[in-house]
Structure 1
Amino acid sequence: MSLLDAARTQAQQLFSPGGRDGLSSAERRDPMGLLVYGLNRLAQTDLLDRVGLRKQTEDGVFKITSAGFKTIGATSRAFTRTGSSKKQGTRSAATRARGVFDLTPTDDEQMLVDVVTEFAEEVVRPAATGADDACAAPAELLAATLEIGLPILGVPESLGGIAEERTAMAGTLVHEALAHGDMGLAVAALAPGAVATALSLWGTEEQQQTYLPAFTGQSVPAAALALNEPTVLFDPARPATVATRTDDGFVLDGVKSMVPRGPDAELFVVGASLDGVPALFVVESTTPGIVIESEPSMGLRAASLSRLRLDRVEVGEIALLGRVDGSTHAEAVRLSRLAWCALAVGTGQAVLDYVTPYVKEREAFGEPIAHRQSVAFMVANIAIELQAMRLVTYKAAGRVAQGQDAGREIALARQLCATKGMQIGLDGVQLLGGHGFVKEHPVERWYRDLRAIGLTEGGVMV
């Protein structure tokens, strides 16, 4: 048994999150959506290599996903409503402050990070190039992430999760470790956990008992936190998507963009303006009026980013998640940004780990290029900025875990990770010279992914 297998077995014994039987049904896709789904699943098998059709199929996937497709929401399971709609749901307690600025992970956090780190190295990194080309994460990889408990990391133990206390710090470490393998696959794997965490943080008893059992059971649904919108100068505090009150609930109208795993998602948490104030709504994918379109992107291609159109989507009172004064939506935006900062740190570390041995081995004019001051200083700057990104992100996560106001720290982390993360990606490409521009090396993919940090809202959350 490998170290990864042993660690995964240990995590299963401790967390007992269960496995997953397969992906959600796709019977209600239109022909184009079904074709994309079928080609992606076919591309994940070794049959194409045996019959010599790998290149032709991948070319077909690329052409179709570039042109786009449109599909109705994935066929969803029946979520049975139970519990009280007015009673507050179960919440995880804040972590105990230790009185010092100590960033040392706890034993439980370190064990979890060790499992995810090895998983990222042995499973995620080797699958990244194929997933980027296919614009989809391999089903086997997503199933493996369920085995180590990623979707229920933020769910309290009393609700079937693994959280004894607020898990913002553990979540940040997991996001960083997984992104060291590949950011696109990390987003695809962590997207369902964002919805489960949102329900754990703000859901009523009825919402938690209706939806969370699906995440803690044997077949975890694909799900997505949809906050981003395709508008110029988009402000997450002022979503253009509108929720209108009705006698039975609400009607949602608008468009959300950069939604991970949209075609497969069975559940969405959508940001919308209610009476002029931003709020969150839980929307099942089979609700009439939902249309999902492909959104081919520069980076994060393995996350299958999509556009979610809401045309007169009627939802009940149970859909409203959290408070209606705007505070819940604002907190979701902040916690999402913190998660993106962690992803930036993990990918930035991948860049540093890759370019450091490269510049020591690559020779020009009879000596390693690392002997050139301009090269050595660039590598040193990556390490310096990366450490600053990590420290401010950890500090923000620590304050969140302790139940303290972290608005300032998250804003600082967001600004630093967006600007310096993008620069790290650019410098990584520059240090490889011509090799940085070709797909033979992964740095060009990391650069494309890091460009998303300052643009994306939602998708992931700690």
Structure 2
Amino acid sequence: MSLTKNLRPGGKFGLARGESRDPIGYAVAALTKVAQSDLIDRIGLRRTAEQAVFTVTRSGFRTVTAASRTFTRTGSAGTDGVRVPAAAAPGTFDLTPSEDEQMLVDVVGEFAAEVVRPAAAAADDACAAPEALLASSLEIGLPLLGVPESLGGISEERSAMAGTLVAEALSRGDMGLAVAALAPGAVATALSLWGSEQQQATYLPAFTGVDVPAAALALNEPTVLFDVLSPATTAVRDGDGFVLTGVKSQVPRGAEAELFVVGAELEGRPALFLVESGTDGLGVEGDPAMGIRAASMTRLSLDGVRIPAESLLGADDGSTYTDCVRLSRLAWCALAVGTGQAVLDYVTPYVKEREAFGEPVAHRQSVAFMVADMAIELQAMRLVTWKAASRAAAGKDFAREVSLARTLCADKGMRIGLDGVQLLGGHGYVKEHPVERWYRDLRAVGVMEGSVLV
């Protein structure tokens, strides 16, 4: 992956087309722009509360999907699209981020600390991400992470490792806002990994241009004992196309999304389909949950939605869908690691400063051991997640590694959130401190499917 390429043509963080800058120059320029921007002042409580979708927090909303732009189909439908090559194997077991990856993480980390974290509480209350924050996430190039350089993106090789690092850094600011910012990139990455020449030519230019559309990966469903590999949503061949019927839940920013990647069962096997928001039969309603509220979660209903044959994304034998699930779970693991780190960073100085019976509570072994256990489990989560990401980036089988990461992050991530609340005592239960929000967000790691992708 190269950071020397312009990340956002025409954007204030980008370079003119054809101009180049070394990675250090890009990082300094991006950080300077973030620091000088009045964005932080523009995403306060009042602006966020004025978002139209704040009604989700009450009785919810129900409407048709957003009007889609006109996506003009070009290219050959039966021709494979451009694929980025697998990352070169270093020959040694080393998960240290490359220089380019570390600089990208530094930029995103600064953005998370200076922009995302201050906006998180208000966004959680409003169930909506501030428009200015989302616009700024586009300017630092988040949707381009998984797009090949030849198609206007920044990936010279498989970007699973870079995407994992970015998701982790971004969620240290807030998991809900991270999901909202990463949602369009999930669709762009899916198109890059599995799209045909026609699909890439039709949709990717919108994601690499200035006016990036909201988009969403919809795999989750509101069914009891939901099995993501056996979706209840169905796709039936009908003439020269498909008819989709079902309901998808926890779809980020669904009310404004212009393009969806929907999971459905086709002839007994799961598959992915591209569905434009203007298609007849689509409906969306608010679907707020316990956590991840800033991502404006919605429920997408498909009532006999008719789509053309070329809307099938990737293979129809279940392999593409399975890869998508694994890469999505990897992204959720990265989000858990970032949020867990935020909890640890917050409670460590708190227990050192909070006094009880004349001394800091950190002097109590029960408190010190709990903080130490959080750090140990967090490091285990990070390493197993990075290992799965490195294998995915190298084009190796990573099914076992991502399963281990998912189990560990869902279990220990939830424990870190619970211990964080416990360490703050009564303060852990009130919204004056952000740990209660992180606790609610971490609960999503074990139940969410889709939404994000690396």
Task: Tell me the TM-score normalised to structure 2 length.
Answer: 0.91
Q: What is aligned with 1:100?
A: 92
Q: 1:278 aligns with which of 222, 245, 270?
A: 270
Say if 2:380 is the partner of 1:388. Answer: yes
User: Cα offset for 1:248?
Assistant: 2.0
Q: Are the equivalent residues in 1 in contact too, given 2:54–2:128 (CA < 8 A)?
A: no
Q: What is aligned with 1:232?
A: 224
> What are the Cα deviations for residues 328-359 of structure 1, in whole angstroms up to 9, with x where unaligned?
00000000000000000000000000000000
Say if 2:432 is the partner of 1:422. Answer: no
Alignment of 1:7-156 (within 5 A): 14-18=5-9, 65-156=57-148
Q: What is aligned with 1:344?
A: 336
Q: What is aligned with 2:185?
A: 193
User: Cα offset for 1:68?
Assistant: 1.2
Say if 2:351 is the partner of 1:359. Answer: yes
Q: What is aligned with 1:184?
A: 176
Identify unmatched segments of 5+ residues in structure 1.
1-9, 22-43
> What are the Cα deviations for residues 197-239 of structure 1, in whole angstroms up to 9, with x where unaligned?
0000000000000000000001000000000000001001100
SS of 1:190 mapped into structure 2:
helix
SS of 1:80 mapped into structure 2:
coil
User: Cα offset for 1:65?
Assistant: 2.9
Q: What is aligned with 1:433?
A: 425
Equivalent-residue separation in structure 1 for 2:5 and 2:230 (angstroms): 42
Which stretches of structure 1, 4 residues or longer, exceed 2 Å deviation after superposition? 13-21, 44-49, 60-66
SS of 1:67 mapped into structure 2:
coil
> What are the Cα deviations for residues 286-319 of structure 1, in whole angstroms up to 9, with x where unaligned?
1000000100211001000000000000000111
Q: Are the equivalent residues in 2 in contact too, given 1:19–1:219 (CA < 8 A)?
A: no
Q: Are the equivalent residues in 1 in contact too, given 2:44–2:119 (CA < 8 A)?
A: no
Most deviating of 321-330 and 62-71:
62-71
Say if 2:198 is the partner of 1:206. Answer: yes
User: Cα offset for 1:18?
Assistant: 3.0
SS of 2:255 mapped into structure 1:
helix
Say if 2:212 is the partner of 1:220. Answer: yes
Q: Check 1:19–1:460 CA distance in 2 against 1; reply closer, same or farther (3 A cut).
A: farther
Q: Which amino acid aligns with 1:219?
A: D
Q: What is aligned with 2:234?
A: 242
Identify unmatched segments of 5+ residues in structure 2.
13-41
User: Cα offset for 1:84?
Assistant: 0.3
Equivalent-residue separation in structure 2 for 1:119 and 1:14 (angstroms): 20
User: Cα offset for 1:19?
Assistant: 5.6
SS of 1:14 mapped into structure 2:
coil
Q: Check 1:245–1:61 CA distance in 2 against 1; reply closer, same or farther (3 A cut).
A: closer
The percentage of counterpart residues that share the same residue type is: 71
Q: Check 1:109–1:45 CA distance in 2 against 1; reply closer, same or farther (3 A cut).
A: closer
Equivalent-residue separation in structure 2 for 1:169 and 1:68 (angstroms): 37
Q: Are the equivalent residues in 1 in contact too, given 2:43–2:130 (CA < 8 A)?
A: no
Q: 2:256 aligns with which of 264, 277, 280?
A: 264
Equivalent-residue separation in structure 1 for 2:410 and 2:199 (angstroms): 34
Q: Which amino acid aligns with 1:302?
A: A
The number of residues matched between the two structures is 425
Task: Tell me the TM-score normalised to structure 1 length.
Answer: 0.89
Q: What is aligned with 1:3?
A: none
Equivalent-residue separation in structure 2 for 1:63 and 1:219 (angstroms): 26
Q: What is aligned with 2:19?
A: none
Q: What is aligned with 1:461?
A: 453
Q: Are the equivalent residues in 2 in contact too, given 1:18–1:146 (CA < 8 A)?
A: no
Say if 2:422 is the partner of 1:442. Answer: no
User: Cα offset for 1:434?
Assistant: 0.4
